[in-house]
Amino acid sequence: MSSHFLRECAITPLLLAALLLLLIVPTVCQQVEGHDRGVVWERIGQEMISHAPVIALTMDPADPNTIYAGAYHNPGLYKTTDGGSSWNPADVGLEGLAVFALQVDPKDSQTIYAGATNGLYRTTDGGASWHALSDELPYATVYAIAMDHDGNLYLGTDGHGLYRSDDGGQTVVPLGDELAETSILALVLDPEARTIFAGTSGQGLYVSHDAGQSWKPVPDLEGAYVSDMALHQYDSDLVFACTRRALWKTDNGGLSWEVADGGLEQRVNTVTFHPSHSEAVYAGTATGHIYRSTDGSGSWQSLSEVRRAVYSLIVDPANPALMYAGSWDGVYKSLDGGLSWELANRGLGSVEIEALVLDETNPQILYAGNTADAVYKSTDGGRSWRNTSRGLGETDKGRGVLSLAIAPPHHRSVYAGTNGRGVFVSTDGGESWAPAGPVQQMGMGAIVVHPQDEKHLWVRVFFDRVYESTDGGVSWQPRWEGMSPELEVISLIMDPHRPAVLYAGSEDGLYKSTDGRASWRKAGLEGQTVFSIAFDPYDPEVLYAGVTDGLYRSHNASVSWEPWGEELEETTISALVVDPTDGRIIYAGTKYHGFFWSGDGGRTWLAANTGLDSSSVDVLAVHPTGRLLYAATPDGVFRGVIQ
């Protein structure tokens, strides 16, 4: 056999391998194309003020700089050791629970009791860790905690009445058959616990003069909602009780009561006594006003106000000029006996962003809607933000903005959907606002503007369906023909390829209107809650739906759907956008599982959460170039740089 033949035989396998490699490599490259990129996130919007509804405050009796704040929030408990200059979560063992009541053990300030969503908790290390107490206590919220001179605990529960514990919460016994099915919101008692006052949720005020063995209702307060009470530290016959109708007072241990709200112009949520002035009392109201009475007779003078409803007031016993107020905003601090206040929220709560829009004609401009602080605007691509809420009304829960929409074609008009005040409009690029029409006592969860008519709007309303306005929000008409009366619409969007087509995601599938709103028909996904919808920018037949248990894709404009993307199965998809420059690239925000992206039209997905300090993403916006992303979350706003 010739050497020439041997050389040919030796070379042939190499050539075959090279040919196979040439055939395989393009296929492999096609499969992974797009997945060579990633997203790195950074927090932006540090100028935005964090908030948490603080409903309970207590001070360490051994250290007035140490304060605990119970919040209707997650985390539900915060602690400061520097007098409110900074706060840190103190919820190890309380994860995911709201805290409604706090009680420090006066004999050991490291031991604290917390009334939480599902029962009673205790810490013995100053809030570093918490542990549930008493299997004998019903699985119910503990709204009120009081302690007598001997250290016995009294616990007011939601729907199960009053309990007492003689061993630090390890075991409990019910007190009073009369209270067995009541919700106890407020408790005060004399040091020996002979006389106990129990305020309920809509069932009035009860008084016991035999340590809780028997109870009598107060006739004047029958059916009252008693949010708080205060008992004088030196005269246990003197008690104030806050109700929705009036502020009440007894000076004979509950034998008789009288209205004591002379000079008060708002409903009082909370009341507390001055620690050393025997006749001085402070009151915090539902509108954020702080009042003081100095004559013990129930005549009041307005001292000052904070921005939101006040739920709790505490005064430093050693320095009565130092006060703290727990409010819908968070915590306020006063150094002059309540004459002036400053928000002391650093590290407390979060900046909960519900709405986020990007101006596609000038992508340096963004608007963000905060659930408590209205609208923020950026003109430099999110690097800096300022509050632009002038003209937006305010309620006791703030100026919450739930939705935003920029009106084409000139993009100077911006609409804001509020929480209970209707739709507002800005005609100067978000600098100032005015009501678009009469106040609507509903939450406006989404706004859609017709691309050729800035006065033509649709809104989805919380716990309701769809409304239409053709006059810029001055008047509204219900548009829900074809929808069941019990249906709640969860998402609303216009087809960018066909402006006459609207999609409404509901708690029971998707609905579609092809006549510009007049009627709706089912469009699949029955049994699913549809949170988000996105469209392929180049193929009008392809759209994606984010639902309770993952992602679905339609290739025929919602005629049929198929599950799409195994990595997102069993995951609630709360936000979806498609890259405007490449329909294969899709971005998904989820509830509790962070952010994902796909480079192959949604077939496969990768998590990309570096720098994203939030497990949930509610809104996504993409830059027209496809190189930047913005995410609105319950923990603030983030910018993602696509690598």
Number of Cα atoms under 13 Å in the Cβ half of residue 308: 24
Lowest mean pLDDT among 25-39, 259-273, 294-308, 556-570: 25-39
Identity of the residue numbered 541: E
pTM above 0.85, yes or no: no
Per-residue pLDDT reduced to its tens digit, 34-48: 444 589 999 999 889
pLDDT of 17 higher than 70:
no
Residue with tokens 């002379």: 262
| Distance in angstroms (rounded) separating the CA atoms of residues 556 and 160 | 55
| Residue percentage of the chain with pLDDT more than 70 | 92
Strand (E) or helix (H) holding 417: strand 414-418
What pLDDT is recorded for position 193? Answer: 85
Per-residue pLDDT reduced to its tens digit, 321-376: 999 999 988 999 999 999 999 999 989 988 889 999 999 999 999 999 987 778 99
What pLDDT is recorded for position 26? Answer: 35
Contact 639, 620 (CB under 8 A): no
3-state secondary structure at position 350: strand
What residues form DSSP beta bridges with 449?
A: 457
* Joined tokens for residue 350: 């979060």
What pLDDT is recorded for position 8? Answer: 34
Greatest mean pLDDT among 72-76, 121-125, 396-400: 121-125
pLDDT of 201 higher than 90:
yes
Q: What is the dihedral of CA 146, 148, 151, 152, to 10 degrees?
A: -70
User: What would the mean pLDDT of 231-255 be, rounded to a whole number?
Assistant: 93
pLDDT of 28 higher than 80:
no
Sign of the CA dihedral with 249 first, then 251, 257, and 259 last: negative
Strand (E) or helix (H) holding 197: strand 196-200
Confidence bin at 3 (pLDDT 50/70/90):
very low
3-state secondary structure at position 559: coil
| Distance in angstroms (rounded) separating the CA atoms of residues 40 and 642 | 7
What pLDDT is recorded for position 469? Answer: 93
Contact 461, 449 (CB under 8 A): no
Q: How far is CA 538 from CA 85, 168, 544, 546, 578, in A?
A: 52, 66, 13, 20, 10
* Joined tokens for residue 495: 């087809």
| Residue percentage of the chain with pLDDT more than 90 | 76
What pLDDT is recorded for position 19? Answer: 31
Per-residue pLDDT reduced to its tens digit, 504-513: 999 999 999 9
